[in-house]
Structure 1
């Protein structure tokens, strides 16, 4: 009898375990494109979701933010790393970050950062002043290819224009930056996603492979990266802000086509998507299970014209292309009224915008006359490189390329549309391999310097100046504008800079868009940031 009783009890226990497993599978799993992601439930034992799946058009190129300048990297890394200072939730005002406060000398040449105590990196090592010094010394002793965005500080240690004289640890929780000259956007630069503070121990451990093994102090820790598929992060249980993050896991999924991404959202396979086509806005609004989210406009979509390649090295040719592109048709067809035609290399929302500049009108006869003056009356043939992914400033890049191709054909320019994968596209553009190409920029700090100096100064050739454009007069104005601390005087300098750029025409400025995202109705506290990269620290489900 005893043996039979024991067997019966074991059978009951087994059946109970199986039933509990089945209940768990039916209640907690989430379909994600044919694969099941299984989020944990809330700590109270309820069924509230705590895994957010974010659908996006392209993969990250690196998870070490200083090694890239592209937005798909920063979407992820802003949740892994933290910067010394933060921006506001939906603006670029300066707020405390890993530094609780900053003291600035009267001459603007010394910045003293007082660091937050008790913060640890994900590998358990201490965040302190030595870690900050290590990161900045690593960056400043590099170059354009290694750390392209460090050029925001006037180049690198070896360069004459480098702004930072020295970074030193005063004590364990105090760091001092000594500058060679004032830099007006210095604190705004410090808060940029590119300058997330990484674990020195992890950098030493992984070396060049650190870009695939990120370790910061942020609210989420890295778990895995399946290239062109997904990146998985999980909650940092030792995060210094108590009660945060709200979510247990983040999954960033790559779904290249906007329409496929929207379909995945409608089916519940993802929770948030970027790159919503303007033509699909009403579809989302009419779905009671979904919501439309607008990102504050802070961008420029443009056609780059490599000023070092023939015949684009002739200013008349570049001006002709500006007159040949039909911006109105592009905006009417692909932006649903939520975009402005661009005439300058920065949006009207940025201080120092020069509204007095007269845009290049769509004028085919004028374009033909300029080409004739340049000795190219019969036109020419050239490749037109089109982005392979949807971007906030250009949600349907391949279709826009077809409109541009048709416009150019009307003045005798035969443009052959070409494309490659996103990482290769950016690398080829950086190296100056493209002639005519489509790209854009979402501002990272709310300052005009982050558009004009970053994208078009000669210091930025090899990083973000893909047009390879160099003008000494422009350079001198931009350095003066960086050094000047009076904002009114800075604005006047940037207006002059825009006049020079307009005349030289290294770009065809196309559009300033209001990017659209969509999300499930139960997603709350998602606040899209004008920089294009937002922390998901406070996001949760209803």
Structure 2
């Protein structure tokens, strides 16, 4: 293990300087000719310009530590940064840390900070700010949902103004990814002493918040003191909220909206051949799930959860929800590649109506029952998926009662452990630990919002977190995926592909598999 960490530390010291805007290739790029020389490509491109980016869903708040919604993460990657980030090729890259060294035992990480970083309020970033920001995760009373990503951290010390040392309780293979993950922002020391960041942003990112009118628009402008000239080319970004995907599509077709990430994949077939647009389809590090309230009868019985899994036709659900623009999943999105146990290799994945009925009878529910299922009004895929599942489960005697709520209600109940059975969708996880630990590890180390409280699962996740050898980690996560398929605390349904649409004058938008809008930091306007 020592030699592995020694090689790793040398590797990161060598490759740091190459991080910047690069390119990734979509699964399909049907109507864009950007990969080949054309008359348009010869048009001069300069920094500046404005993009109107359309979306149908608003974020409840902008707090990078206390707001868990993906809609927040999509926006705040433009305004905030961590010590690291994970690029579109799933490689850890430097951000506010220029370099780092890892001790041979894997328990001490020493970060050398950039000395040219400023916050949007004009203050220069120092080690004091970094220590303050990451110690928020260690403060149980603070209540950040990202605390589970940092339970291995024992202490954070300031060596000097540009050097910070993280000492771990045990080796933690995912620390570098966690430092630049969903909750990995650096903010000025003392930010939360007299307020919060729900409605403002004081980060170090390439764009600063100028104005936010909730449920209408958000205006960002280029931050002139930004430390890098490799991102942040636009003068202004307006994030425009539209009522629904039909309105979003109309805005794109009319040219009123410059770019968008479509959330309703069914619109892909309607625009993929439009010669006036760039249309790209990418695999995503995202999954959709049916999450059980595991502490509520009858869903506290694994046989009931298994029966529901056996009663669902995932392929039918995926087609109804995405028009086939996605992939059925077992226990992990396919974009995780070698980490994934194939659907065919997992238990209970084939629809089996008679087997489901037998399990319900064994659990004492031969006559079925009513099952609540919550969906979110602004998530277009949820209604058709819920209707398919309701039809599927009616065949095994379960009546599904669909309840629709807005995102704010959903987040409040989820965060307070009051959510009923519900659909869920999230992404941004760049390592299996970040996918599983926070969500499925029992409290207090994990969040366990599904109230699974499973001892075997928690042990596996603890073992994987400290294991640094790739093959051994793979075996542990394989075991966890099999446990997910047999215990069924949640039913992963499908991974929707990401659909990026833009006008021809928008170039160099590099889609990130998380679905967060990193691409706007690289985008330019062709003039």
Matches within 5 A, 1:321-332: 321-332=308-319
Could you report, residue by residue, the CA deviation over 1:389-426 in whole angstroms, capped at 9, with x for unpaired residues?
23xxxx52112111112222222211111121112212
- 1:485 to 2:482 alignment: no
| Contiguous gaps of at least 5 residues in structure 2 | 1-44
Q: Tell me the CA shift for residue 212 of structure 1.
A: 1.2
Q: Distance in 1 between matches of 2:269 and 2:335?
A: 27
2:283 paired with 1:296: yes
Match of 1:440 among 425, 429, 432: 425
Residue matched to 2:165? 176
Residue of structure 2 in register with 1:538 after alignment: 522
Distance 1:283 1:522 in 2: 21
Picking from 210, 220, 225, the partner of 1:238 is 225
Asked whether 1:358 is paired with 2:341, we answer no
More displaced, 424-433 or 131-140?
A: 424-433
Query: Once the 2 structures are TM-superposed, how far is the Cα of residue 165 of structure 1 from its aligned partner?
Result: 1.3
What's the counterpart of residue 130 of structure 2?
132
Q: Does 1:141 align with 2:125?
A: no
Corresponding residue of 1:23: none
The two structures have a TM-score, normalised by structure 2, of 0.86
**1:517-528 → structure 2 map (5 Å cutoff):** 517-528=500-511
Whether contact under 8 Å (2:148, 2:445) holds in the other structure is no
Instruction: State whether residues 84 and 190 of structure 1, in contact with CA within 8 Å, keep that contact through their aligned partners in structure 2.
Output: yes
Which position in structure 1 is the counterpart of 2:494? 511
Cα distance, 1:131 vs structure 2: 0.7
Conserved 8 A contact 1:339-1:513: yes
SS of 1:458's equivalent in the other structure is coil
Q: What is the aligned partner in structure 1 of residue 67 from structure 2?
A: 68
Counterpart in the other structure of 2:436:
452
SS at match of 1:234: strand
| SS across alignment from 2:132 | helix
Q: What CA distance in whole angstroms lies between the structure 1 residues aligned with 2:131 and 2:366?
A: 58
Indicate if the aligned counterparts of 1:184 and 1:484 stay in contact, CA closer than 8 A.
yes
User: Residues 251 and 516 (structure 1 numbering): CA distance in 2 closer, same or farther, change over 3 Å?
Assistant: same
Q: CA deviation at 1:498?
A: 1.5
1:397 corresponds to: 382
Instruction: Report how many aligned residue pairs link the two structures.
Output: 479
Partners in 1 of 2:445 and 2:242 — Cα distance? 32
SS of the equivalent of 2:425 reads strand
Moved more, 110-119 or 427-436: 427-436
Q: Confirm or deny that 1:305 pairs with 2:289.
A: no
SS at match of 1:349: helix
Is the 1:123–1:202 Cα contact (8 Å) retained in structure 2? Answer: no
Q: Distance in 2 between matches of 1:538 and 1:497?
A: 37
Following superposition, the deviation at residue 513 of structure 1 comes to: 2.3
| Native 8 Å contact 1:419 1:425 kept in 2 | no
Task: Give SS of 1:167's match.
Answer: strand
Which whole-Å CA distance do the structure 1 matches of 2:358 and 2:230 have between them?
Answer: 65
Q: Distance in 1 between matches of 2:390 and 2:445?
A: 27
Q: Deviations over 1:349-379 (max 9, x none)?
A: 2443223323422122222221111111111
Q: Determine if contact 1:346/1:452 at 8 Å carries over to the other structure.
A: no
Instruction: Select the structure of larger CA radius of gyration.
Output: 1
Q: What is the match of residue 15 of structure 1?
A: none
User: 5+ unaligned residues in a row in structure 1: which ranges?
Assistant: 1-45, 155-162
Distance in 2 (alpha carbons) for counterparts of 1:493 and 1:537:
37
Task: Give, in angstroms, the shift of residue 299 of structure 1.
Answer: 2.1
Give the conservation status (yes or no) of the 8 Å contact 1:461–1:469: no
Q: 1:460 to 1:381 in 2, by over 3 A?
A: farther
| Equivalent residue number for residue 343 of structure 1 | 330
Q: Give 2:450's aligned residue.
A: 467
Cα distance in 1 for partners of 2:366, 2:463 equals 41
Say which of 227, 236, 249 aligns to 1:262.
249
Residue 494 of structure 1: CA displacement? Answer: 0.8
Change in 2 beyond 3 A, CA 1:426/1:301? same
- Write out aligned runs for 1:205-224 (5 A): 206-208=194-196, 210-224=197-211
Local SS of the residue matching 1:196: coil
Displacement after TM superposition at 1:68 (Å): 2.3
- Whole-Å separation in 1 of the counterparts to 2:437 and 2:231: 37
The answer to whether the Cα contact below 8 Å between 1:125 and 1:201 also exists between their aligned partners in 2 is no
Q: Give, in angstroms, the shift of residue 317 of structure 1.
A: 0.8
Residues 382, 435 of structure 1: 8 Å contact kept: no
Contact 1:258 1:275 in 2 (8 A): yes
Q: Distance in 1 between matches of 2:238 and 2:308?
A: 42
TM normalised by structure 1 equals: 0.84
Give the 3-state SS of the residue equivalent to 2:250 in structure 1: helix
Please give the alpha-carbon distance, in whole angstroms, between the structure 1 residues aligned to 2:376 and 2:407: 7
Question: Aligned pair in 2 of structure 1 residues 341, 282: CA closer, same or farther (>3 Å)?
Answer: closer
Q: Whose relative contact order is higher, 1 or 2, with alpha carbons under 8 Å and at least 6 apart?
A: 2
Distance (Å, rounded) in 2 between the aligned partners of 1:111 and 1:312: 43
The one-character-per-residue Cα deviations of 1:20-65 (angstroms, maximum 9, x if unpaired) are xxxxxxxxxxxxxxxxxxxxxxxxxx99971211112211122121
Quote the offset at 1:466 in angstroms: 3.1
Correspondence for 1:30: none
Structure 1 residue 95, shift from structure 2 partner: 1.2
Distance 1:49 1:100 in 2: 27
Secondary structure at the counterpart of residue 195 of structure 1: coil
